[in-house]
A and B are shown apart, each in its own frame.
Chain A
Amino acid sequence: MTNKLIGQYPDKSGHFGCYGGRFVGETLMAALADLENAWNDASKDVVFDRQFREMLANYAGRPTPLDFAERLSEHVGGARIYLKREDCAHTGAHKINNVIGQGLLARRMGKMKVIAETGAGQHGVATATIAARFGMSCKVFMGAEDVRRQAPNVLRMRLLGAEVVPVTCGTSTLKDAMNEALRYWVAEVEDTFYVIGTVSGPHPYPVMVRDFQRVIGDEARRQALEQIGRVPDLLVACVGGGSNAMGLFYPFLDDRCEMLGAEAAGEGLDTPRHAASISGGQPGALHGAMTYLLQNDEGQIHEAWSISAGLDYPGVGPEHAFLHDLGRVRYAGITDREAVEAFKLLCRYEGIIPALESSHALAAAIKEAAGRPKEQAVVVCLSGRGDKDLDHVTAYMKENKLWP
């Protein structure tokens, strides 16, 4: 690496090269400026940082382990595979890191009403969790289709005291939930904090969420130096909006270390049924940011498709678009079938039931590791646990002759 990347992006107006920025209606501009100021203040405040660290440790259970997957590595027969175990964090996914940060910031700004969008329900659960912890009211917008697909998480959110608002417009999935959350925020912007669940949205969300999630990579880097004695050769993470991936990658950007983002290729990149915005999309503006989008020639957004509700989104965080164009990170598609096969391998070889989202990263890591020598080390972000996916995965396995 010749040019340093850490600390260089985004620019003052939230641009990562030609991506990012703030593409929103005028009504939200003041709220985004306030949020940016509050975040700039908080990120320099040692008290805020201490509160954040304490909650990560005592509430979320961090640091999460870096775990050598010995049997899986042997089975694959190539590079050694290490798992960054975000599935061990409270609520079962990396999403908790970000909501602790945004929850603390909302409280600091005196906003006791939070809203969120959710696809798989993991971010919704995490937001409902932090709202309960802080005594905030919480509304979660969720596509009606996802409410059906992710029933256990709907129950969890309701138990935690959140109101789940089913969204029936458009395609009734994550992008529509985000549309509806933005509409609600426009109306209630004076006293409501919008907790976005990934590194997308208008500035400052992409940089703020990345900074809350970089704890994944900061820990992994320290743990790798201890356990492996050096920086890993390759990092792999799944990319929906891209928050677990940015969290893992960011602290390594200036190291000699390859990076691979696994996008959901659904039924294949050569079909319309996928969610691979970088591998199969073009640049455009949606939900506040310029980035890669699944869209037609006239700029209408396509429905995304993946077996995994958390990757089922037609866009991607702008920093990923930037890192892709720079050639710093590679992005590859993983099909539903490849993800489910990797899911099964991890269950059988390591006794870990991974989230379907994380299974995409795992599948990509297995492919890569197979072609590399034993001396190399690959770190995979195991972004979440798979309990929420059991019905779905078992049905898929039975239909596709992968069971048991």
Chain B
Amino acid sequence: MDTKGLFMNRIDAAFANLAAADRKALVAYLTAGYPDFDTSLEILKQVCGAGADILEIGVPFSDPTCDGPIIQASSETALKSGMSLSKSIELAAALRQSVETPIVMFSYYNPVFRYGVKRFAEEISRAGVDGVLIVDLPPEEAGDLVEALAGKEIHIIRLAAPTTRPERIRMLAGGAGGFLYLISRTGVTGTGGLDPAAIALHAAAVKKVCPHPVCIGFGISNSDDARALAPLADGIIVGSALMRVLSKADDFAAIPALAAAKIRELRVGMDAAGMCAKS
């Protein structure tokens, strides 16, 4: 890993601090610009305040093939409100003015490719982004992105799936930075369908070969899930469950507080798991 300069990547710093405190990371995915730019910025701030350790800002895309109905719907709403990749970068930059929480830009590849991979890398670097996760860009196709990010303090977050075979997990883990995103089950993003016993086996196998923290995502809905899964890895990622709560709000003004409440609920579950493990 690149350690030039005095600056430590915020994701690395976050995991170092969490490990020192014997806590797990709560990673919160939020669709950028949902339901509109200003509300989205307020949601992100409050989610940080409520205890999210890392933010994933999801760039909405017209054809989100890796996402289930909830994130499809939030992406559609965000696009209708005028959201785009360039505005998502603006959103990250605006957020960076007031918080130090690590930010991961989550996107499909096409918006990034169309924008220009180099230009994307430069602009997110200036915005204060700490990691990128391109969900449909396997390492085999990521040469341009790797090159564009070289020398920047930005990690490429990689994913491993239940279908990923051991030799490939080693390859993915070796090339990744920040943390490895472990997909809990086959399927797209959404809530439910978790099999903690299977995830435990998979997570243990992955942790053995991965030099980075491992976070589990997809299907985590509530504090019970958080309690069950957090001990299996270094953190958990919550997206659809959060976006579903937001979609239930009566008006935009109510959304940020709902998001914060959901984060606190999950945090309680995770911290309870921590205490069980110790007692």
Contact = CB atoms under 8 A, between A and B. Distances in A.
B100 interface: no
Nearest to A303: B62
B278 interface: no
A288 B250 CA distance: 38
Interface string B29-69: 00000000000000000000000000000000111111111
Contacts of B161: 25-27, 29-30
Contact of A169 (B72, B162, B164): B72
Interface centre among A22, A23, A190, A295 (most CB of B within 10 A): A23
Contacts of A375: none
B17 interface: no
B110 A284 contact: yes
A22 B138 CA distance: 8
Contacts of B251: none
How many chain B residues sit at the interface, stated as a range, is 35 or more
Interface string A264-287: 000000000000000000111111
A295 B135 contact: no
Given A26-B161, A299-B112, A187 B188 contact: yes
A25 B63 CA distance: 13
B186 A301 contact: no
B163 A31 contact: yes
B274 interface: no
Contacts of A160: none
Interface in A158-178: 169-170, 175-176
Nearest to A181: B65
B265 to A, nearest CB: 27
A299 B187 contact: no
B202 to A, nearest CB: 13
A287 B108 CA distance: 11
A24 B138 contact: yes
A297 interface: yes
Interface in A220-244: none
Nearest to A24: B136
B164 to A, nearest CB: 6
A298 B84 contact: yes
Contacts of B183: 26-27
Contact of B63 (A22, A28, A286, A297): A286
Contact of A300 (B79, B158, B162): B79
Nearest to A283: B113
Given A23-B141, A29-B168, A183-B65, A297 B114 contact: yes
**Would you list the 5 A-B pairs with minimal beta carbon distance, nearest first?**
A299-B114, A299-B111, A187-B187, A27-B161, A298-B84
Interface of A: 13, 21-31, 169-170, 175-176, 179, 182-183, 186-190, 282-288, 290, 293, 295, 297-301
Interface of B: 61-69, 72, 76, 79, 84-86, 108-115, 135-138, 140-141, 158-165, 168, 172, 183, 186-188
Given A27-B187, A298-B115, 13 more contacts: A23-B136, A27-B161, A30-B164, A170-B72, A179-B65, A183-B68, A186-B187, A187-B187, A287-B63, A298-B111, A299-B61, A299-B112, A299-B115
22 contacts: A23-B138, A23-B141, A24-B136, A24-B138, A25-B161, A26-B161, A26-B163, A27-B162, A27-B183, A30-B163, A170-B63, A183-B188, A186-B186, A188-B186, A285-B108, A285-B113, A290-B113, A293-B110, A295-B114, A298-B84, A300-B62, A301-B62
